[in-house]
Amino acid sequence: MSARRLRPDERRTLVLLGLPTAALALAITFVTTYVPVVADRFLDSTTVIGLLIGLEGVIALWLPIVVGRWSDELGRRLPFLAWATPVAALSLVAIGLSSSFTPLALAVVLFFLAYFVAYEPYRALYPDLMADEIAARAQGTQAVWRGLGTGLALVGGGMLVAIGTDVAFFAAAGIFAAAMAAFLGPALRMARGRRTETAGADPATLRALLRARPVLRSYFAANACWEASLGALKTFVFLYVVKGLDRSEPAAAGIIGGVALLVVLAAPLTGKLADRYGRSRVLAATLPFYGVGLLVPAFTQSIAILVPVMVVVGFGGAMVMSLPYALLQPLMPHGQHGLLTGFYSVSRGIGTAIGPAAAGIAIETLHGPFGSTDGYAAMWLVCGGTILLSLPFLLALRRREGPGGP
């Protein structure tokens, strides 16, 4: 099966939609990666740090459904982004100025609230505007933008954190606000007079869909596992390199940025492969290698071994960042894109609540066996283990899809 070419208008839409992806990815990466660096200066517990970052998942358990339903009922997505953008930017500034746990926690919670108010309606724009037949390529393109935002946060943020966390978070707030403004101006003009078609979706509708469609339940569990892995990785990878491997903060930024670059380069390829051969098939064929690759750094710090493993990890990371939503998009009933986007984020929320907390607990409890890295190598057990745990759910999803796909 050959995938058709994207039309010029589809390409322009994808470019415009990419700006919020990069902005939101930069902001959330700053929070999940560098809040632990801020907190580490006045907290001794990686478990508490993991629980703090895991608040993202707790909020995602309820707010996405509410906001997704509102955006469906209102028939408008963009006002949510316009209201949430300044709140998120100010929260980033407040995080950078925090010098104790209470103001830091309050600023983090406020950021997560604003993030989900913006993210859910924005994400629902993809099924609103993109045909199902190009969904994987659209999500692959989005993953490129997400990788750019994530890479800028990891590389630039790591350099700026060495100067000062306040400087780093001030810069993040400015870049985030500028990118969102660059999107909202043309998007609001394009959307003038248009409304999103809706079907009055509500949580009862979602519960009925889950009861009637086991494939959605399998997807929910698999996606939660993928997000747990990403959540654990983002929260502690910077501290793993700095404290576990005893590298400088700029060196850590370069190392992590190199892997992020692999994700950016691999994302378009994963989208093309998924549109051509099937999204669940591509995931099922490659996730075992990704999961095993994530386990390797727990047991060795040999550069000769880790460099080729990181190539596999970069490609796997591109898949986990780009394909899950594309896997869900064909399962969405018409007029309920916002609600099912909320469903997607609830599954993400469970993962992002469990992943950082589990990694923080693993680092503390397994400090002895992993003492050579100050315990931080134990995080990779969570990162790789949750990917491997997702495989039975993914295989069940494939069986329930049937030979004709979703």
**Can you tell me whether residue 219 is helix, strand or coil?**
helix
Predicted pLDDT at 193: 47
Q: Max alpha carbon distance in the chain (Å)?
A: 62
**11-401 in CATH: which number?**
1.20.1250.20
Residue bearing tokens 């869900």: 328
Q: What is the pLDDT of residue 137?
A: 64
Residue 302's pLDDT is 86
Cβ contact 290:323 at 8 Å = no
pLDDT of the residue at 400 = 61
On whether the pTM is more than 0.95, the answer is no
Look at residue 192 in the predicted model and tell me its pLDDT. 53
Contact criterion met (CB below 8 Å) for 108 and 49: no
Q: ∠ CA(106), CA(347), CA(222), 5° rounding?
A: 140
**What are the average pLDDT values for consecutive 10-residue runs of the chain, which has 406 residues?**
61 80 93 92 89 91 78 73 94 94 95 91 71 61 79 87 92 95 80 49 64 85 95 93 90 84 78 80 92 95 86 86 80 65 80 94 94 94 97 86 45
**Residues 259, 270, 136, 402: is their CA dihedral positive or negative?**
negative
226 with 386: CB under 8 angstroms? yes
Which are the contacts of 111, defined by CB distance < 8 A and separation ≥ 6? 27, 31, 88, 91, 92, 95
For 201, the 3-state DSSP assignment is coil
Provide the residue ranges of all domains of the chain, joining segments of one domain with +: 11-401
State residue 1's pLDDT score: 45
Output the pLDDT for position 201: 46
Which structure tokens are listed for 3? Answer: 């995938």
| CA 148 from centroid of its chain's CA atoms | 13
pLDDT of residue 139: 61
Instruction: Transcribe 135-176 into DSSP letters.
Output: HHHHHHHHHHHHHHHHHHHHHHHHHHHHH-HHHHHHHHHHHH
Handedness of CA 223, 66, 57, 178 (dihedral sign): positive
